[in-house]
Structure 1
């Protein structure tokens, strides 16, 4: 068989080019530390690398979202703690204000302090997070959700929604609470009803703590009462009760409820109990109204008005007792919000820990798929270098084989 010189040259060149290409690939693996640098190196492996890269990128973003959410919730928790401390101070001041031994000047000094606390509460309600977004504006972008008007009334310009952060596939966490529920829509009285002394009372009757003692009886009776009752006192402290329709309230036997009240005692009917003190005059009343709400700023403002007024000790006690109930409701709302915030932060910490563990697993899988065994790569590089050098030497010897070399 006859071998042409051109064919021999072409074969040698093709072999050396292939060896150079393999050598270059090995050099690239050694320099980058990666087995797959382009998709053609391993199409299946390259697809897996892309998939793992997307998962790791998503985990990184979720972790970043968790850090941001934790920062915002931590700020909210700090603000709610300050709100709770402030309301505790206001409540203590209200209890102190009921003391009949205080002078008018003392009460006005307390009113000044309460006014300052009220302004401070507005500032706390307008607290912003690290990005300058209001904590208690819902999803509104307003920077000042609580605005104090010229008449001193505080209005809410946010909304009732809650900001959320995506911290996982299909998992979202609330990162704030709307100020409407925390500060504005505070349930009146004990949360079920409000009992207050009549505005025209002439005795020394003071309405104290009240509660629903039998929820079943209360719910059943309140539906038919028209939303409230009026307790009326006659001479000697005897009392009777009518519903909002003016009908006498009857007991389980069909008899009108009522009896003789004694100072420091309580009256109970239809599943509720009202503690009273003092001595009612004939014609004095206690109004019971179910439902209703009040914002905490108005409650503090009402306390200021009571302390600045020149009412009797009974008027002051009745006025402050009703506002203490509102403060208690606001404290309950703040406490519930703090519990919810703590639960969310706990969930975020658990989720972040899970992502940290998963990232280790995914990075290990990515390394196994993409990274090269350095020792093997260096060994291959050495062998391919030696092989190319041998091919070059062989080609140099073969190309010198010519009949003319012998003729000369």
Structure 2
């Protein structure tokens, strides 16, 4: 068999190229730390790597969304806490205002403080998140949901929806609360009804705390009469009640309700009790209404107007009492949302912890599939390097061989 010189050269060259290719692949494995760098390295393993990378990327995206949602909800919680603190101050000022020893200038000073509180509350209601999006605009894109008109009235330009963020497969968490439920659509009175002294009253009657004491009787009477009543006082504190249609209110036996009120007592009928103090003049009235709503900004405006109007102590006290009830209802609405925000933050914390644990698991699985054994790869690199050097030396010796070297 005749072996040509060119064939020998080509075989040696092919061997060295193959060794260089293997050495380059091993060098890449050592430098990258990965056994699989291209699909051809391990087709089956490459498929697993792609799947694991997709899962890890999805978890990372959910984790980032959770971080953003957590920041937004923390901002909301802080803002609501500030709003509650401001309303506490307004409530305290309202109680101070009904002190009969205050002068007109004292009341003007309190009105000025309440005006500043209103401005602060509007500012808080227009708080934005780190991206400049309004916290309390619902899903509206407006950045200033609460606008103050020329007459001082505040209007809401957002909607009643909640923004939501996907923090898991099929799991969405609300990341905002509409300002309509927090600051605007606030029930008046005790939440069930509002009892107010007539503006034309001439006596010293003060309407105090009131509540539903018999829910069944209250619901029954409200369904038949609409829940609107007028209590009218006669001489000596006698009183009668009529419904919204002007008909006399009757008890369960069909007799007209009524009686005689004494200072510091209360009036009860149809499942409700209204505490009072002072002495009513003949013809004075107390109205009972249900279903009313009042925004907190109007509450503050009413307090300011009453302080600036020069009303009598009795009139001022009655107005302030009703506005204090509205402040209490606002704080109740805010408190309810604060509890909800706290629950959402707990959910996000738990979800973030789960993703952190899963990420460790998936990264470990990815390392098992894709990662290279450093000791094995380095040993393999050393052997391949030695083999390549040997091939190169042999080729150099073969290349220098010539028949003419033996004919000299």
The match for 2:296 is 296
Partner Cα separation in structure 2 for residue 101 and residue 400 of structure 1: 121
Q: Which moved more, 1:364-373 or 1:54-63?
A: 54-63
Partner Cα separation in structure 1 for residue 260 and residue 2 of structure 2: 132
The match for 2:166 is 166
| Structure 2 unaligned blocks of 5 or more | none
Q: Does the 8 A contact of 2:208 with 2:275 survive in 1?
A: yes
The match for 2:87 is 87
Q: Which moved more, 1:13-22 or 1:154-163?
A: 13-22
The alpha carbon displacement at 1:183 in A equals: 0.7
| Structure 1 unaligned blocks of 5 or more | none
Partner Cα separation in structure 2 for residue 301 and residue 399 of structure 1: 104
The match for 1:75 is 75
Q: Does the 8 A contact of 2:241 with 2:248 survive in 1?
A: yes
Partner Cα separation in structure 1 for residue 358 and residue 274 of structure 2: 58
Q: Does the 8 A contact of 2:303 with 2:319 survive in 1?
A: yes
- The one-character-per-residue Cα deviations of 1:176-197 (angstroms, maximum 9, x if unpaired) are 2111111111111111111111
Partner Cα separation in structure 2 for residue 224 and residue 197 of structure 1: 24
The match for 1:380 is 380
Q: Does the 8 A contact of 2:221 with 2:227 survive in 1?
A: no
Q: CA separation of 1:107/1:399 partners in 2, compared to 1, >3 Å: closer, same or farther?
A: closer
The match for 1:328 is 328
The match for 1:339 is 339
The alpha carbon displacement at 1:16 in A equals: 3.6
The match for 2:264 is 264
Q: Does the 8 A contact of 2:127 with 2:134 survive in 1?
A: yes
Q: Does the 8 A contact of 1:299 with 1:327 survive in 2?
A: yes
The match for 2:146 is 146
Partner Cα separation in structure 2 for residue 112 and residue 275 of structure 1: 31
- The one-character-per-residue Cα deviations of 1:7-60 (angstroms, maximum 9, x if unpaired) are 655554444433332222112111222111111001111122122222222222
Q: Which moved more, 1:21-30 or 1:395-404?
A: 395-404
Partner Cα separation in structure 2 for residue 157 and residue 397 of structure 1: 89
Partner Cα separation in structure 2 for residue 3 and residue 273 of structure 1: 122
- The one-character-per-residue Cα deviations of 1:126-162 (angstroms, maximum 9, x if unpaired) are 1222222222122222222111111111111122222
Partner Cα separation in structure 2 for residue 136 and residue 387 of structure 1: 72
Q: CA separation of 1:8/1:209 partners in 2, compared to 1, >3 Å: closer, same or farther?
A: same
Q: Does the 8 A contact of 1:228 with 1:290 survive in 2?
A: yes
Q: Does the 8 A contact of 1:201 with 1:281 survive in 2?
A: yes
The match for 2:213 is 213
Alignment RMSD, CA only?
A: 2.1
The alpha carbon displacement at 1:406 in A equals: 7.0
The alpha carbon displacement at 1:274 in A equals: 0.6
The alpha carbon displacement at 1:403 in A equals: 7.9
- The one-character-per-residue Cα deviations of 1:59-85 (angstroms, maximum 9, x if unpaired) are 222222222222222221221111111
Partner Cα separation in structure 2 for residue 321 and residue 108 of structure 1: 18
Partner Cα separation in structure 2 for residue 215 and residue 3 of structure 1: 114
Q: Secondary structure at the match of 2:241?
A: strand
- The one-character-per-residue Cα deviations of 1:261-289 (angstroms, maximum 9, x if unpaired) are 11111111111111111111222111111
Partner Cα separation in structure 2 for residue 208 and residue 235 of structure 1: 21
Q: Which moved more, 1:143-152 or 1:250-259?
A: 250-259
- The one-character-per-residue Cα deviations of 1:205-253 (angstroms, maximum 9, x if unpaired) are 1111111112222112101112311112121112121211222222222
Partner Cα separation in structure 2 for residue 21 and residue 264 of structure 1: 101
**Superposition pairs of residues 7-406 of structure 1, within 5 angstroms:** 10-392=10-392
The alpha carbon displacement at 1:101 in A equals: 2.5
Partner Cα separation in structure 2 for residue 237 and residue 288 of structure 1: 18
Q: Does the 8 A contact of 1:226 with 1:245 survive in 2?
A: no
Partner Cα separation in structure 2 for residue 75 and residue 226 of structure 1: 41
Q: Does the 8 A contact of 1:241 with 1:258 survive in 2?
A: yes
Scaled by the length of structure 2, the TM-score of the pair is 0.93
- The one-character-per-residue Cα deviations of 1:85-105 (angstroms, maximum 9, x if unpaired) are 111111111112222222233
Partner Cα separation in structure 2 for residue 399 and residue 151 of structure 1: 102
Partner Cα separation in structure 2 for residue 390 and residue 112 of structure 1: 96
Q: Secondary structure at the match of 1:232?
A: strand
Partner Cα separation in structure 2 for residue 400 and residue 333 of structure 1: 96
Scaled by the length of structure 1, the TM-score of the pair is 0.93
